[in-house]
């Protein structure tokens, strides 16, 4: 029961009866080996269960072929972005190294570990860092940094974000077309990308000549189900009014779901009495029992864009960071409908 050492190229070489260099050459698909030898080396590698030592490889290699990704497992839309990063990176010849940001494992710790692996670039998804935090990260890490989420174009790091303002505008347009005139916006004030989305609401309402009605919900972003709670609280506030709006919009699906369920539980029919809409098109919005009209910000496209931005900065040394805006699309489901006649 001894712990055997994993096989190296030297072991393969000895097994086949050639030099170690030739094995390296074959496994790198470099020219200069006969087909017969290639076959024998590959067979031996498979037989011995060879797995290249990425540490040794990154040590020798001039430039790294790894993308470091920081993400928060607790947040909902991020897993989909992470999933999209894998094939995008693979298509460009890069490997992915993940590091989680949690309450016991800070963004800085995650970044330090990734830098220890000598990643070629860092992709930070939905980080808790503000602009100055990201800026200093970009400066000290010496590698290109891509922030996925929110922020404005700058010269320190790349940004990939969805067009949250235009998405909300489209949503309001949809409601206005259905005939809604009283559309309330519930704003969980602690939401990172919230300001942009609220602006979209304000702009669209103004364009339609309708009065804005914003319900601002304070709270702690880091709390477990803050968003859903904010929606629920907002629903109770609305229920205390003499008259309900005909439609309610929230800048994320969790808040909208909190609204929806609380309204339904209190005898309000959705969409008959009140239309409800969210943003993100999270899995929860697609449940048949929720079936929420929402705005989809394509997580796959965001992942691909992040990889593209990172690879571009890596391979064209010295180019300026840029901002990539991913278009959103309206997903109409059964939680919105024309308002009842009064």
Partner DNA sequence: TTCCGCTACTAGCACGTGCTAGGCGTGATG
Partner DNA sequence: CATCACGCCTAGCACGTGCTAGTAGCGGAA
Task: Return the residue of 2, 4, 32, 49 that touches DNA, per CB under 7 A.
Answer: 32
Residue carrying the six token digits 């790198």: 28
100 strand-pairing partners: 71
Task: Return the residue of 1, 2, 4, 5 that touches DNA, per CB under 7 A.
Answer: 5
List Cβ neighbours of 297 (8 Å cut-off, separation of 6 or more).
77, 162, 164, 167, 279, 280, 281, 326, 328
What is the DSSP annotation of 71-127? E-TTSSSHHHHHHHHHHHHHHTT-EEEEEE-BTTB-HHHHHHHHHHTT-SEEEEES-
Length of the chain: 342
The answer to whether 119 contacts DNA (rule: CB under 7 A) is: no
- Give the burial class of 264: count Cβ atoms within 10 A of its Cβ; 0-12 exposed, 13-18 middle, 19 or more buried: middle
The answer to whether 33 contacts DNA (rule: CB under 7 A) is: yes
Task: Return the residue of 39, 43, 47, 57 that touches DNA, per CB under 7 A.
Answer: 57
The answer to whether 212 contacts DNA (rule: CB under 7 A) is: no
In angstroms, what is the minimal distance from the CB of 48 to DNA? 11
The answer to whether 9 contacts DNA (rule: CB under 7 A) is: yes
From the list 304, 298, 299, 310, the residue with the least C-alpha distance to 68 is 310
Q: Which does 2 bind (CB under 5 to 8 A by kind): DNA, its own copies, none?
A: its own copies
Q: Report d(CA 301, CA 68) in Å as an integer.
A: 18
Total residues at interface with its own copies (CB under 8 A): 64
The answer to whether 228 contacts its own copies (rule: CB under 8 A) is: yes
In angstroms, what is the minimal distance from the CB of 65 to DNA? 10
Q: Report d(CA 250, CA 276) in Å as an integer.
A: 8
The answer to whether 328 contacts its own copies (rule: CB under 8 A) is: no
Site track for its own copies across 76-115, x = CB under 8 A: --xxx-xx--xx--x----xxxxxx-xxxx------xx-x
Count Cβ neighbours within 10 Å for each residue of 74-104 and write b for 16 or more, e otherwise: eebbbebbbebbbebbeebebbbbbbebeee
In angstroms, what is the minimal distance from the CB of 315 to DNA? 15
- Of the two residues 11 and 202, which places its CB atom closer to DNA in the complex? 11
CB 297 within 8 A of CB 330: no
The answer to whether 91 contacts DNA (rule: CB under 7 A) is: no
Strand, coil or helix: 68? strand
In angstroms, what is the minimal distance from the CB of 239 to its own copies? 13
Q: Which residues bind DNA (CB under 7 A)?
A: 5, 8-10, 18-22, 24-25, 27-28, 30, 32-34, 36-37, 50, 52-53, 56-57, 59-62
Q: Which residues bind its own copies (CB under 8 A)?
A: 1-4, 6, 49, 51-59, 73-74, 78-80, 82-83, 86-87, 90, 95-100, 102-105, 112-113, 115-118, 140, 142, 224-225, 228-229, 232, 257-258, 260-262, 264-265, 283-284, 286-290, 317-318
């Amino acid at each position: 029961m001894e712990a055997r050492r994993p096989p190296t190229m030297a072991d393969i070489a000895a097994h086949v009866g050639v030099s170690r260099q030739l094995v390296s050459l074959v496994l790198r698909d470099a020219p200069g080996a006969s087909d017969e030898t290639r076959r024998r080396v590959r067979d031996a590698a498979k037989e011995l269960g060879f797995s290249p030592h990425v540490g040794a490889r990154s040590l020798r290699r001039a430039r790294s072929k790894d993308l470091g990704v920081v993400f928060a497992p607790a947040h909902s839309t991020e897993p989909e972005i992470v999933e999209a990063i894998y094939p995008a990176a693979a298509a460009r010849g890069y490997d992915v190294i993940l590091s989680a940001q949690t309450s016991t494992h800070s963004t800085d710790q995650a970044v330090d570990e990734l830098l220890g692996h000598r990643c070629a670039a860092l992709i930070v998804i939905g980080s808790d860092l503000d602009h100055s935090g990201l800026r200093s990260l970009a400066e000290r890490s010496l590698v290109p940094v891509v922030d996925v989420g929110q922020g404005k174009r700058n010269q320190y790091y790349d940004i990939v974000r969805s067009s949250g303002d235009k998405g909300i505008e489209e949503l309001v347009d949809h409601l206005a077309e259905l005939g809604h005139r009283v559309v309330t916006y519930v704003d969980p004030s602690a939401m990172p990308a919230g300001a942009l989305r609220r602006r979209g609401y304000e702009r669209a309402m103004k364009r339609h000549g309708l009065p804005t009605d914003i319900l601002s919900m304070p709270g702690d972003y880091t709390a477990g189900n803050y968003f859903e709670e904010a929606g629920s609280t907002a629903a109770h506030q609305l229920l205390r009014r003499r008259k309900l709006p005909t439609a309610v919009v929230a800048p994320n699906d969790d808040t909208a779901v909190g609204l929806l369920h609380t309204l339904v539980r209190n005898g309000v029919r959705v969409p008959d009495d009140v239309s409800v809409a969210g943003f993100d098109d999270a899995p929860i919005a697609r449940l048949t029992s929720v079936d929420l009209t929402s705005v989809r910000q394509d997580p796959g496209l965001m992942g691909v864009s992040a990889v593209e931005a990172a690879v571009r900065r890596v391979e064209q040394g010295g180019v300026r960071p840029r901002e990539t805006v991913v278009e959103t699309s309206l997903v109409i489901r059964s939680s919105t409908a024309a308002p009842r006649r009064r």
